[in-house]
Amino acid sequence: MTSHASAAFDLDAFKDPALALGLVESINKLAPVEGMTLMEVCGTHTVSIARNGIRDLMPQNTRLASGPGCPVCVTSNKDIDTIIALSRVEGVTIATFGDMTRVPGSTSSLLEEQAQGRSVQIVYSPLDALTLAQENPQQQIVFVGVGFETTTPLVAMAIKRAAALGLENFSVYAVHKNMPGALEVIVNDPRVKIDALILPGHVSTIIGVKPYEFLAKKYGIPGVITGFEPNDILQGVAMLARQLHEGRADIEIAYARAVLPEGNPIARAAIDEVFETCTATWRGLGEIANSGYKIRPEFKQFDAVARFAPEVEPTREPKGCKCGDVLRGAMSPHECPLFRTVCTPENPVGPCMVSSEGSCAAYYRYY
């Protein structure tokens, strides 16, 4: 390590209770007396808010609603079924992030398919999937590309690396989605009534401020891009309270150490080179134009559906699951009749209970 690396990077201050106290005090002073509803869009925020007991620190009539920012949760049943169908293709190995394997589709899950003898590998990075392909030339590796703008550029880069290597046994099933379109659906939902948005830190690392500006300008809804330590979140809430107090609606950054106003242009260029936007189906939110990414024709040889044309079973939604309403912030997990009774992390009915970032799983664990 060079000497300036050891110049300590003081992350602990972002957890310092003394600083938290000052922020809580500010929030209490600034929050509108009639109360406010803030949505934390990102699943990682949902978990951090729950783990750090931040709801208990809010003024009485302030509500923190959990949003749609769990990529596994918003993946539609049809897409899950397609992934399962791909796992049934002779010679295919599915490489995917761990959460995805436990999500129930219409009649099965990747874990159940694995128990039936299909090949499913959990990977930490799309690069691990590339390595699998290089080390197993006889096997077709299909990587499940799930995730928002944070993850999409990584998968784009993995596809570019595969193209450069001339890999013929690597492909991707891409169900990537972008956040702003989903937020527009939510702010237009009369059942939800959001006053302000705690915007996702790492999605914003890639996209910057601009894609959210319509929320402030067109809908008058303030947003603050926030990090994930307790004081990051409290600062985000304090900045939102201040905007509401002053009657302003702007998109601000409370996570300057990781988010530049312009985002990461290299990452955005990688997305645009490999993917084009398309209409995507979100669990709970339905079809949203331009909110999904599909592989461009130039990279078609890496598109798993084009390569294997899997036969997908008819879609059936999980009975009684309210994930759709939970993902919109229209319902708290507690209000689902199956929560904790029928639906538990060991026996999840819907994806919101499977993913570690799902609202139902977070509420099960911490509330």
Partner 1 sequence: MCLAIPAVIVEKKENGLAEVDILGVHRDIALDLTPQAETGDYVLVHAGFAIEVVDQQYAQETLDLIKQFPELAEQE
Q: Give contact residues for partner 1 (rule: CB under 8 A).
A: 1-5, 7, 9-11, 13-14, 19, 22-23, 25-26, 29-30, 42-44, 69-72, 97, 99, 124-128, 146-148, 150-151, 153-154, 157, 161, 200-203, 205-206, 228, 231-232, 235, 238, 242, 245-246, 254-260, 264, 266-267, 270, 355, 357
Would you say 192 or 225 has its CB closer to partner 1? 225
Q: How far apart are CB 342 and ligand SF4 at their closest, in Å?
A: 7
Q: Which is nearer to partner 1, 97 or 275 (CB)?
A: 97
Q: Which of 352, 307, 304, 290 is nearest to 145 (CA)?
A: 304
Q: Select 69 or 348, whichever has its Cβ closest to partner 1.
A: 69
Is the Cβ of residue 25 or residue 317 nearer to ligand SF4 in the bound state?
317
Query: In the numeric block, which tokens belong to residue 171?
Result: 């492909």
Q: Which is nearest to 110 in space by CA: 136, 125, 92?
A: 92
CA-based end-to-end distance of the chain: 42
Give the containing element (helix H, strand E) for 274: helix 265-274
**Shortest distance, CB of residue 70 to ligand SF4, whole angstroms?**
11
Q: Does 350 bind ligand SF4 (CB under 6 A)?
A: yes
Residue 159 C-beta: closest distance to partner 1, Å: 11
Nearer to ligand SF4, 14 or 339 (CB): 339
Q: Check residue 321 for interaction with ligand SF4 (CB under 6 A).
A: yes
Q: How many CB atoms neighbour CB 286 within 10 A?
A: 11
Q: Pairing mode, if any, of strands 223-226 and 286-295?
A: unpaired
Query: What is the spatial distance between Cα 221 and Cα 215, in angstroms, rounded to a whole number?
Result: 6
Tokens 């990452």 belong to 267
Site string for ligand SF4, 241-270 (x = CB under 6 A): ------------------------------
Cβ distance to ligand SF4 smaller for residue 238 or 352: 352
Residue 83 φ then ψ, to 5°: -65, -40
In three state form, how does the secondary structure of 122-175 look?
A: ECCCHHHHHHHHHHCCCCEEEEEECCCCCCHHHHHHHHHHHHHHCCCCEEEEEC
Q: Which does 128 bind (CB under 5 to 8 A by kind): partner 1, ligand SF4, none?
A: partner 1
Answer yes or no whether residue 336 interacts with ligand SF4 by CB under 6 A: yes
* Total H helices, total E strands in the chain: 16, 11
Task: Label residue 17 left, alpha or beta by phi (over 0 means left) and psi (-120 to 50 means alpha).
Answer: alpha
- Residue (108 or 178) nearer to ligand SF4, CB: 108
Of 172, 187, 203, 352, the one binding ligand SF4 (CB under 6 A) is: 352
Binding site for ligand SF4 (CB under 6 A): 321-323, 326, 333, 336, 338-339, 343, 349-350, 352-353, 360
